Amino acid sequence: MAIATINPATGETLKTYEPLTDEALEDRIARAAQAFARYRLTTPQERAGWLSAAADVLDDDIDAVAELMTTEMGKTLASAKAEVGKCAKALRWYAEHGPALLEPEPKDAAAVGAEQAYVVHQPLGVVLAIMPWNFPLWQAMRFAAPALMAGNVGLLKHASNVPQTALYLEELFRKAGFPEDVFQTLLIGSSTIERVLRDDRVAAATLTGSAPAGQSVASIAGDALKPTVLELGGSDPFIVMPSAHLDRAAEVAVTARNQNNGQSCIAAKRFFVHRDVAEEFTRLFAEKIGALTVGDPMDEGTQVGPLATESGRDDVERYVDDAVAKGAQVLVGGKRVDRPGWFYEPTLLSGITPEMDLYLEEVFGPVAALWTVDSLEEAIEIANSHPYGLGSNLWSEDAGERERFIRDIASGMAFVNGMTTSYPELPFGGVKQSGYGRELTELGMREFMNAKTVWIGGPSSEQGERSTAGSAAE
């Protein structure tokens, strides 16, 4: 993929970029390593101040940045503004809570024969972030805010179709007053990632993307003995039981599937509805999907814009056509929109069977797949048969069903009577082929930190006496 801004609402190429030369890339990695040598010595309070300043910059830039994201990947302008606001919130959360989270953790000194014993969390160094285009500001911020609070330095390899948003992120942290080169954007192609990841000056990597991309990065990082965090997509189940408030569940289901034009890893994609309420829920769901306004993402009234890339639109079309050819029923939508750009109708399919490609794959577009089930157990069994395990949703007022769902669903996140969403206050990540590691909260900060054990003895410490008495030294 060329490094270029191509407006998905029109197909027009607006701006292209040349990838960094080998010499320019070497210079940026060297500068990142030099920046870390200085930045790691800054105080958590200083970093918190810069994060807070970055949030203020985002507040000032919200209109321009939102329009930029809409132009580059087609999200509606309203959702783009919400994304900018969410990034500012995350920056402020880490600014407020980060210093306390970095305080040494005292341990039981007497139990280990010391005068003092504690754990300090220290940054690893330069971290490579490989990010996708669908939430071009937020997904990069999920990495950047905790990493910078921790004292790490960031190198961002963003998706090639959002280069202007990627460059803005570097400018954002510079405008906020962070030391020079603490966060840099690398305009490089995917073929160059291995060189950066294998560089001894790069300590770790994080990737949000496809399972094959995750396998490649994990393999390279494993060979180099470097830690990684992987968020590799999902096909989240959305289970509706008889006790659910059906109208509310259907309303949220439409948003959960079609948010970001259907291009979200944590979008609900597979809908399992109990037979007792299947007819009514399906009617409500279909009506609400059919009422969505598809159009120019810059228009205030638009609810669903184009797919971000032409190949993405073609993939969605292929999944739907394959399912229909194998017996699926189209209840709503089911075809591309006859207009310039890469639009596809919000779609609802039923009659899904294992022979269909979408049964075990992620459809990254506004297509909902509907199952009718006879029990919660059946819904969970089908849901868990999928290789992904990112988020999950249950709609039920029954306490026993909620307990069984939380216990048995194979996912990194379980939301009951609500839509799967990311918050800085909650860990974010999945299991199985949805990846490993966690973003956000203190967990996201500590993924790229060394938990260093500190033991301090003195005249009254007992360790030497214990060792002399024959206790194990290891």
95, pLDDT greater than 90: yes
Mean per-residue pLDDT, 13-23: 97
φ and ψ at residue 103, rounded to 5 degrees: -65, 145
Q: Alpha carbon of 44 to those of 39, 423, 461: distances in Å?
A: 10, 22, 32
Whose structure tokens read 């270029």? 4
CA–CA gap between residue 84 and residue 145 (Å, rounded): 13
Angle, helices 44-73 vs 163-175, to 10°: value is 150
Q: Of 31, 33, 46, which Cα lies nearest the Cα of 178?
A: 46
Report the DSSP beta bridge partners of residue 193.
none
Given pLDDT bands bounded at 50, 70 and 90, which one contains residue 463? Answer: low
465, pLDDT greater than 70: no
Given pLDDT bands bounded at 50, 70 and 90, which one contains residue 37? Answer: very high
Cβ-contact 255, 368 below 8 angstroms? no
Q: Write out the DSSP string of 58-127.
A: HHHHHHHHHHHHHHHH---HHHHHHHHHHHHHHHHHHHHHHHHHTS-EE--TGGGT-SEEEEEEEE-SEE
231 noted as active-site residue:
yes
- At 469 the pLDDT is 43
287 noted as active-site residue:
no
Mean per-residue pLDDT, 241-251: 98
Summarize the chain as % helix, strand, coil (round to 5): 45, 20, 35
470, pLDDT greater than 60: no
- At 467 the pLDDT is 46
- At 461 the pLDDT is 67
- At 458 the pLDDT is 87
Q: Are strands 153-157 and 183-185 parallel, antiparallel or unpaired?
A: parallel
CA–CA gap between residue 180 and residue 85 (Å, rounded): 25
Q: At a CB cut-off of 8 Å and minimum separation 6, what does 216 contact?
A: none
Cα 359 to its chain centre, rounded Å, is 23
Query: What does the block give as tokens for 314?
Result: 């073609």
460, pLDDT greater than 90: no
Cβ-contact 119, 451 below 8 angstroms? yes
Given pLDDT bands bounded at 50, 70 and 90, which one contains residue 472? Answer: low
* Catalytic entry in 265, 345, 362, 447: 265
* Average model confidence (pLDDT) across the chain: 96
pLDDT tens-digit readout, 362-383? 999 999 999 999 999 999 999 9
pLDDT tens-digit readout, 262-307? 999 999 999 999 999 999 999 999 999 999 999 999 999 999 999 9
Q: Of 358, 362, 331, which Cα lies nearest the Cα of 346?
A: 331
- At 459 the pLDDT is 83
φ and ψ at residue 360, rounded to 5 degrees: -120, 15
- At 1 the pLDDT is 72
